[in-house]
Amino acid sequence: MQYPPNLRVIRVACSGMIDPEIVVYALSNGIDGIIGIGCRLGECHYLEGNEKAKAREQAIRIVLANGGIDPDRFRMEYLSSAESARFVEVVTNFVGEIKALGPNPLRQQKAADIVAR
Ligand code: FES
């Protein structure tokens, strides 16, 4: 199955290992969007990693909003590794939503800062 080619998959052992600091850092440095995908709630192989990821999602969104970054550039989803069609649907929709938001303005600002040096 194919998914949008501008999506880069970064594997982690569990969605509970998605570091909020890295999410905020990446978006603060111009990444257009981040979608974290974990196992279905209640089905984490590490018992409660996805529950922790879910709890962190809202906190990350608040930090992003406070930093002037559209919080819709980050979200979590939960699905089984057997749901490949659902994976394609979720990431395709997310990429579409990010395209609708446009490029991350902080990337343009970073580029302008570099040119100004
Ligand atoms: S192993 Fe924890 S979310 Fe999948």
pLDDT tens-digit series, residues 37-75: 999 999 999 999 999 999 999 999 999 999 999 999 999
Closest residue by Cα to residue 36 from 62, 17, 64: 17
Tell me the CA–centroid distance for residue 56 and ligand 1, in Å. 14
Q: Which residues line ligand 1 (CB under 6 A)?
A: 14-16, 38-39, 44-46, 49-50
- Residues whose CB falls within 8 Å of the CB of residue 102, separated by 6 or more in sequence, listed in order: none
- Residues whose CB falls within 8 Å of the CB of residue 8, separated by 6 or more in sequence, listed in order: none
Ligand 1, closest atom to CA 38? Answer: 3
Ligand 1, closest atom to CA 44? Answer: 2
- Give the distance from CA 52 to its chain's centroid: 15
For the chain, what percent of residues have pLDDT higher than 70? 100
In whole angstroms, give the CA distance from residue 82 to residue 92: 17
Number of C-beta neighbours around residue 106 at 10 A: 18
Ligand 1, closest atom to CA 13? Answer: 1
